A = this chain, B = another copy of it.
Amino acid sequence: MRRICVALVHHPVLERSGGVITTAITNLDLHDIARSSRTYGVTDMFVVHPVEAQRELAEKVRDHWLHGSGSRRIPDRIEAMRILRVVPSLADVFESFGGRSEVEVWTTSARSLGKGMSLAEARKTLDATGRPVLILFGTGWGLAPDVVSDADVHLVPIRAQADTGFNHLSVRAACAITLDRLLGDG
C-alpha cells in the first residue's frame, strides 16, 4: 500500500472572479480534516500558508489539541492532530518527500479540469508499490492553474448520481468523501 498524504492549500488558490489569492485559515478545518485523514490512514496532513501569523495560528490550534486543555477534554483528537504539518509553501511540502520528483501529486476540484482520473481508478493504483501520493485540496474557489498544471493526476469532481443542479461541498466534506472513495470499506 502506498503512503498517502493530504495538503490543504491556502495559496495559490482562486477567488470567485478567478484571481489568485491567499485565503485565511478556518480553525475548524484543521482538526476536521486531520480526523478524516487519520481515520483513513493518511500519514501527513500539510497545512500550506505563506503568512507567518497564520501559520502560528495553526500551530496554536495544533498545540491546544496536542498539549493544551483540548487534549484533556477530547483526548481522541491527539492522535489526529499529530499528523498535522504547517508549512509556508507547496515547495516545502515537496521538499519533505525529498523533492518534487519523489512524490505523485493528485489534484481535486469541484469543476472538471478536462481529462481526469476517476476515484475508482485512482483507488486501484494505491495497492501497488510506488511513490507516495499527495492529494491537494484548494480552499477558496480551488487550486490555482499553476498548481494544477504541475500535478501528475487530476481526480474528477465528486458528483451526486442524480442531477441536483448544485455542487458546492465544503473542502472538509470534499476531503472526507475523497478519502472514503479511495480508502473506505464501502
Contacts and interface: CB of A to CB of B under 8 A. Distances in A.
Contacts of A184: 158-161, 177, 181
A161 B183 contact: yes
A80 B81 CA distance: 30
Quickly give the copy total for this chain.
Answer: 2
Interface string A11-26: 0000000000000001
Interface string A21-44: 000001010011001101111000
**Interface size class for chain A?**
35 or more
Contacts of A80: 166, 168
Nearest to A80: B168
Nearest to A177: B180
A177 B181 CA distance: 9
Contacts of A180: 158, 177, 180-181
A128 interface: no
A69 interface: no
A114 interface: no
A142 to B, nearest CB: 13
B170 A185 contact: no
Contacts of A38: 164, 166, 168
12 contacts: A36-B173, A39-B164, A39-B166, A39-B168, A79-B166, A120-B186, A159-B184, A159-B185, A160-B184, A172-B172, A173-B176, A180-B181
Given A39-B169, A40-B160, A41-B160, 5 more contacts: A77-B168, A119-B186, A160-B184, A172-B176, A180-B180
Interface of A: 1, 26, 28, 31-32, 35-36, 38-41, 76-77, 79-80, 119-120, 158-162, 164, 166-170, 172-177, 180-181, 183-186
